[in-house]
Structure 1
Amino acid sequence: MKKFILKELKSFKCAFNGIYLALTEAHIIIQIMATVLVIATGYYQNINKTEWLIIAICIAMVIGAEMMNTAIEKTVDYISMEQHPQAKSIKDISAGAVLVISIVAAIIGINILFL
């Protein structure tokens, strides 16, 4: 049991390190700045508990998708050092997924915060 707990604690340490590393990436920093703006606007608009939960889910989805995109891009760069059309497709599709999630989150945020 003790071995299991120590293993899990190590996993959490790795996960927190991943969050720390992600916070050094430019696109994640932009998402964090947008998050601060959305939270400030939510307080200003005095949104209700349900709306806060929806906003929190949107924020988590966008930042999580951006972190996954960063991991995919770093993996592709690590595996394929030279330019390759397949590597570009992988990275473009990953970035497109972030864009889709971001657009939907923006539509939801606009509806909650301004309409």
Structure 2
Amino acid sequence: MFDNTNKPKGINRVILASLNSFRAIKWLYLNESAFRQELLLLIIAIPISFLFDISAKEQVFLVLAIVFIMFTEIVNTAIEAVVDRVGLEIHPLSGLAKDLGSAAVFLSLIIASSIWLVILL
């Protein structure tokens, strides 16, 4: 049972939350090929953003567009994990939840592509 009165507080909470986040990112890297592809895209996008004659603000938007894709992938993976935790049997709502997560990633790709096109063209 969750004990709300003994939750970590202050800097200890921040440290524990950070450790949980790093553990999750490590898991994503080791287990999700889409996350690895998006991380590679980010690693490529950062130096590419310096090749264009654009402002620092525009460079930040380009990089954040890729980070937004990664954020959406993390949320999609979380949805998939919860659905699989509830049950592995085929169910229309389970499929819908996973499809909606996938659609969110797809839309984030469209948004990021649009940002890159608008800024670079």
- The alignment's TM-score, normalised by the length of structure 1, stands at 0.86
Number of aligned residues: 113
Alpha-carbon offset, residue 55 of structure 1: 1.3
Amino acid at match of 1:69: N
Aligned pairs for 1:15-26 within 5 A: 15-24=21-30, 25-26=32-33
Counterpart CA distance in 2 for 1:7 and 1:36 is 30
* Counterpart for residue 56 of structure 1: 63
Counterpart CA distance in 1 for 2:117 and 2:47 is 14
- Structure 1 residue runs of 5 or longer lacking an equivalent are none
Larger RCO of the pair (alpha carbons < 8 Å, separation 6+): 1
Instruction: After the TM superposition, list the runs of 4 or more consecutive aligned residues in structure 1 that deviate by more than 4 angstroms.
Output: none
Counterpart CA distance in 2 for 1:60 and 1:69 is 14
Counterpart CA distance in 1 for 2:33 and 2:67 is 17
* Counterpart for residue 42 of structure 2: 35
* Counterpart for residue 5 of structure 1: 11
Aligned pairs for 1:67-86 within 5 A: 67-86=74-93
* Counterpart for residue 44 of structure 1: 51
1:98 paired with 2:105, answer: yes
Amino acid at match of 2:26: Y
Structure number having the greater helix percentage: 1
Amino acid at match of 2:14: E
State whether residues 42 and 63 of structure 2, in contact with CA within 8 Å, keep that contact through their aligned partners in structure 1.
no
Alpha-carbon offset, residue 3 of structure 1: 5.6
- Structure 2 residue runs of 5 or longer lacking an equivalent are 1-7
The secondary structure found in structure 2 opposite 1:45 is: coil
Alpha-carbon offset, residue 27 of structure 1: 0.5
Counterpart CA distance in 1 for 2:35 and 2:104 is 15
